[in-house]
Amino acid sequence: MPDQLSHMEPNELDDVIKSHVKHLKSQSGGRRARLENYNLSSINLDGRNLSEGFFSGCTFKFTSLRKAGLVSADLMGCDFSVANLQGADLTYADLRGAVLRGAVLTETCFREANLSQSQFGESPSSDGGMKTSTDMRGVDGRGSDFSDVSLEGAELSDSDFSTAGMVRTDLTSVNARNSIFASAQLNNALLIKGDFTNADFSNANLQGADLRECNLTGAGFKGADLSNSNLSGANLQGASLEKADLAAANLTDTELRGAILDDGALTDEQVRSALLHRSPEAQGVVIKDVLVRHNIWISSGGREGERADLSGLDLSNLDFSGVDLSAAKLVGCSLKNSSLKGALLAHANLGYADCRQANLEDSDLRGADLCFVNLSAADLRNANITPLKIDSVSVRNWPADLTRVRAVGANFSFARLTDAKLDGANLTNADFDGAVLDGCSVVGAIFTGVDLETTSTVGLINPKPS
């Protein structure tokens, strides 16, 4: 950018834009805007159509460009520090080397835009006070190029970067909860200590990526290439790693209890270094003794005995039919193929547990915590998943929480789920014949392949069409 930028009076700029719009509409008298190396700071360009214009080298510091049209615009090397680009359309725009420090980029569309070597991060506020971080919530970055860009500390939640180029991109400490990186190129990217809860990395290329200490709770990595990546200290509880390539990945102290892995996906060394389900015997736990103390704890109202805590253990293929596990802690354990038919699990905490193919028919799950539990192909026929009435100083009803539960192909026939929380649940091809879903919250839930014709759905909160 040159030391001296050209200046234009507001009325002149307005005339240029009006002529540019005529050009876009192929009207007589129209002329494409060519304003390379101009100072366009601190002005209001909200909603103006600048698509296909030439603005390389311009500065737009503190300028408001909300919902502006910048499709296919030449913005190479422009300075958008602390500019407001909320909802602007930058599809196909050339933003190579642009500066966007502290810019407001919520719901901005960068689809197939080129942002390679552009600069993000913090920028001083207009009064020289507190620094402003880059806000990119809800951004459409599908097919865009963010390679070699630093987005350290940026707010990226609820954004879509599907098929984006993010090679060597610095995503350290970002908040990217619920964002989509499906089929993105993230090889050798830095994602250290980022929050990627519920993010979608399906079929993404993460070869050599650094994901140390990331929060990847509930994230999807189906078909992703994680070979030679560093996942040490990362939390992948509830994450899906089906068909993911973990060859030579560093899994030291990686939390994988409750994650879905293919059989044989890990080497012996990875199994030893990661935090995985361990057998009760290996942990010195005698289940029979735990259940005896738990029954005493229940019958004495907590004055004697001890609450059962089987969290993180491999309890697969075991028989807990009719067992009283009310209020037990079963966080992140594996109950795959286990029988809990008629078991008492009221107010139990099963968060992140693997309950695939488990038999929970006739079980009591009133008020249970089932967040992020994998219930795929589980049998929950006639299960009681209604609120638990808790008598304390004041009587209250404690609803069951199935937020983000994965229940693909599960059988909920004649189960009662009144007032249950099913936000973000994946209920694809689940059977709800004769079930009761009255008053359930199903915000963002997936009902693909579900037939609710015989299901009671009175008062569903924000249902999502199947």
Q: What is the pLDDT of residue 134?
A: 80
Q: What is the pLDDT of residue 121?
A: 72
Residue with tokens 């909160």: 461
Amino acid letter, 182: A
Tell me the average pLDDT across 428-451.
97
The burial class, CB within 10 Å (0-12 / 13-18 / 19+), for 262 is exposed
Question: Is 438 in contact with 456 (CB distance < 8 Å)?
Answer: yes
pLDDT reading at 129 higher than 60:
no
In 76-165, beta strands by DSSP E: 123-124, 131-132
- List pLDDT tens digits, range 31-56: 999 999 999 999 999 999 999 999 99
Closest CA to 68 of 96, 92, 83, 90: 90
Of all residues in the chain, the percent with pLDDT exceeding 90 is 91
Q: What is the pLDDT of residue 102?
A: 86
Residue with the larger pLDDT of the pair 392 and 215:
215
Tell me the average pLDDT across 357-363.
99
Q: What is the pLDDT of residue 122?
A: 65
Q: How far apart are CA 466 and CA 463, in angstroms?
A: 9
pLDDT reading at 123 higher than 60:
no
Of all residues in the chain, the percent with pLDDT exceeding 70 is 95
Q: How far apart are CA 205 and CA 185, in angstroms?
A: 5
Question: Is 451 in contact with 412 (CB distance < 8 Å)?
Answer: no
pLDDT reading at 4 higher than 50:
yes
Tell me the average pLDDT across 225-253.
98
Quickly count: other Cβ atoms within 10 Å of residue 130's Cβ. 9
Q: How far apart are CA 302 and CA 305, in angstroms?
A: 7
Give the CA distances from residue 181 to residues 40, 141, 388, 450, in Å, rounded to whole numbers and listed in that order. 34, 9, 39, 27
Q: What is the pLDDT of residue 128?
A: 53
Banded pLDDT at 293 (limits 50, 70, 90) = very high
- List pLDDT tens digits, range 267-278: 999 999 999 999
Tell me the average pLDDT across 253-269.
95
Give the CA distances from residue 170 to residues 118, 146, 187, 194, in Å, rounded to whole numbers and listed in that order. 12, 10, 11, 10
Mean pLDDT of the chain: 94
Q: What is the pLDDT of residue 391?
A: 74
pLDDT reading at 89 higher than 90:
yes
Q: What is the pLDDT of residue 396?
A: 80
In terms of DSSP bridges, do strands 123-124 and 131-132 run parallel, antiparallel, or are they unpaired? Answer: antiparallel
Q: What is the pLDDT of residue 465?
A: 46
Q: What is the pLDDT of residue 466?
A: 43
pLDDT reading at 403 higher than 50:
yes
Q: Which CATH number fits domain 278-466: 2.160.20, 2.130.10, 1.10.10, 3.30.2010?
A: 2.160.20
Tell me the average pLDDT across 396-406.
94
- pTM: predicted TM-score of the whole model, two decimal places: 0.89
Residue with tokens 């909320």: 86
- List pLDDT tens digits, range 138-190: 999 999 999 999 999 999 999 999 999 999 999 999 999 999 999 999 999 99
Give the CA distances from residue 180 to residues 160, 169, 197, 198, in Å, rounded to whole numbers and listed in that order. 5, 16, 11, 9
Least confident of 87-91, 116-120, 195-199, 294-298: 116-120
Q: What is the pLDDT of residue 326?
A: 98
Tell me the average pLDDT across 80-104.
95
pLDDT reading at 332 higher than 70:
yes
